[in-house]
Amino acid sequence: MSYEWFIARRYLTARRKQAFISVITSISTLGITIGVMALIIAIALITGFQDDVQDKILGSTAHVMIRDWSGDGLEDYESLADRVARMDGVISATPVVYDSVMIIGPYQSQGGGLLRAMDFEQELPLSSWLRELERGELPERGARREGILLGRDLAFSVGAAVGDVVTVISPSNRLSPLGMSPKFTRMKVTGIYATGLYEWDSTTALVWLDAGQRIFGLGDRINLIQIRIDQIFDAPKIRDRIREFLPEDTHAMTWMEMNESLFSALKLEKRLMFFTITLIVIVAALNIIATLILMVMEKTRDIGVLKAMGASSRSIMRIFFMQGSMIGVFGTIIGTALGLFWCFLANTFELIKLPVDIYMIAFVPFRIKVLDLLAIVGVALLISFLSTLFPSHRAARVDPVNALKYE
């Protein structure tokens, strides 16, 4: 053990004549602790919220979508979907039909709903929520009465349970003596699903692809092709490769483009919160500066003695640098431990509940990524180390003659 380290550690030990400095040292350590803890909790909150929403969105929607500009539907979609499905990095390319409908249940109706038609056989291996229905089973293809799946919240709002019959009112081009009339289709509820995404579960009903084509009068056309890929952040590259052979009247979009405003807002909020709470660490670092300056004033005679015994200015500077660094390191370690412990408790007991109709999730998940944690620890230590430079430099400049003159 070097004598610089030994002296720095002794200076941090409370003495009777240094009680005031010891209190300021404790306050400095507490400030670093609170700052690091607050940073970890805040960043874990934003990251957990962002990841949870992202997972729920991508669990029920496509990573890349192909649709036509006109809105009339895609023709000869099988060959296009088959070509996309053979591309490297693509898991599947499945057809989808959808449109707005009104659903009338046994007790009340739900306007502004969405009827989504798909091939359940293709979709089943890709969607865990479809394999694990809350109640019931998938509709039987070709049944005498066509089946329908309802989202959990949608089923609750219309008062429908498994086995009930609901009426789907869809737009139609059928002309009647009174003008264009809607189309009524009675369907049996065979199951109820839950994706965990409130916006989806409260509005969307699912049917077989051919049933949706028949209800909306599309014939052999579809509304879009939904594509799932291995690496979700490679979506822009996959989209650009698909655009090379798309027909002129079609276009492709990624999940990032469809949810750009939401994720941009979350990223901006994460950055702002990081810089804002970092101010707590900076304030604590000012306390470290004050502590070391007071220590230098208190230990002027000791510095003079050390220099008279042959200690170099670099050694004196190292003593006070080590002292301030220990405050920063201890505060950072304790703050990191407390922050991670709080995240563990919050996730285990779901401490912070949220209204799902607004935030799409039932509680706030706390997730801290390794890079974020390293950034927080690194910033806290950097600020702590920088705060020691000025007091250490002042200590190194103490003149031993003046320090010992009146002793």
Do 212 and 321 share a domain, yes or no?
no
Residue 345 lies in a domain: yes
**C-alpha–C-alpha distance, residues 146 and 134, integer Å:** 20
Contact indicator for 60, 195 with CB cutoff of 8 Å: yes
How confident is residue 174, by pLDDT bands cut at 50, 70 and 90?
Answer: low
Do 76 and 217 share a domain, yes or no?
yes
> Which pTM does this prediction carry?
0.77
Residue 62 lies in a domain: no
Do 130 and 15 share a domain, yes or no?
no
**C-alpha–C-alpha distance, residues 54 and 265, integer Å:** 13
Sign of the C-alpha dihedral computed for residues 77, 254, 52 and 368 taken in this order: positive
Residue 253 lies in a domain: no
Contact indicator for 361, 282 with CB cutoff of 8 Å: no
Q: Which two tokens stand for residue 369?
A: 């990524």
* Residue ranges with strand state E in 45-129: 64-68, 90-104, 109-118
- What's the domain range around 119? 70-248
Do 143 and 11 share a domain, yes or no?
no
Do 177 and 318 share a domain, yes or no?
no
| Predicted confidence (pLDDT) at residue 234 exceeds the cutoff of 90 | yes
* Residue 136, strand partner residues: 191
pLDDT digits (tens, 9 = 90+) for 257-291: 988 887 888 888 889 989 988 988 998 898 899 88
Contact indicator for 115, 168 with CB cutoff of 8 Å: yes
Mean pLDDT over each residue of the chain, to the nearest integer: 88
Q: What is the pLDDT of residue 175?
A: 52
| Predicted confidence (pLDDT) at residue 44 exceeds the cutoff of 70 | yes
The 3-state secondary structure of 135-187, one letter per residue = EECCCCCCCCCCEEEEEHHHHHHHCCCCCCEEEEEECCCCEECCEECCEEEEE
The secondary structure of residue 345, as a DSSP letter, is: H
Element (H, E) at 225: strand 224-229
DSSP per position, 5-44: HHHHHHHHS--GGGHHHHHHHHHHHHHHHHHHHHHHHHHH
Do 320 and 286 share a domain, yes or no?
yes
How confident is residue 407, by pLDDT bands cut at 50, 70 and 90?
Answer: low
Q: Which two tokens stand for residue 63?
A: 């990573």
Residue 148 lies in a domain: yes
Do 195 and 99 share a domain, yes or no?
yes
Q: How many residues does the chain have?
A: 407
Instruction: Please give the residue that has the higher pLDDT: either 314 or 22.
Output: 314
By 3-state DSSP, what share of the chain in percent is helix, strand and coil, each rounded to 5? 55, 20, 25
| Predicted confidence (pLDDT) at residue 53 exceeds the cutoff of 90 | no
The secondary structure of residue 332, as a DSSP letter, is: H
Do 74 and 53 share a domain, yes or no?
no
Q: What is the pLDDT of residue 117?
A: 96
* Least confident among 11-25, 48-62, 221-235, 302-316: 11-25
Residue 107 lies in a domain: yes
How confident is residue 358, by pLDDT bands cut at 50, 70 and 90?
Answer: low
Residue 255 lies in a domain: no
CA 91 vs CA 72, 82, 165, 207, 225: distances in Å:
27, 11, 35, 22, 13
Q: What is the mean pLDDT of residues 94-118?
A: 91
Q: What is the pLDDT of residue 12?
A: 76
**C-alpha–C-alpha distance, residues 267 and 274, integer Å:** 11
Residue 52 lies in a domain: yes
The amino acid occupying position 141 is R
| Helical segments of 350-369, H only | 356-359
* Least confident among 20-34, 143-157, 191-205, 306-320: 20-34
Residue 256 lies in a domain: no
Domains contained in the chain, number: 2
Termini Cα distance of the chain: 30
Do 7 and 155 share a domain, yes or no?
no
**C-alpha–C-alpha distance, residues 333 and 354, integer Å:** 31
Identify the domain boundary among 248, 276, 307.
248
Do 243 and 305 share a domain, yes or no?
no
Contact indicator for 206, 66 with CB cutoff of 8 Å: no
pLDDT > 70: percent of the chain: 94
Q: Which two tokens stand for residue 385?
A: 């180390």
DSSP per position, 280-298: HHHHHHHHHHHHHHHHHHH
By three-state DSSP, how is residue 58 classified? Answer: helix
Identify the domain boundary among 182, 216, 248.
248
The secondary structure of residue 102, as a DSSP letter, is: E
How confident is residue 360, by pLDDT bands cut at 50, 70 and 90?
Answer: low
Q: What is the pLDDT of residue 227?
A: 96
Do 121 and 207 share a domain, yes or no?
yes
| Predicted confidence (pLDDT) at residue 1 exceeds the cutoff of 80 | no
Identify the domain boundary among 216, 248, 280.
248
Do 74 and 14 share a domain, yes or no?
no
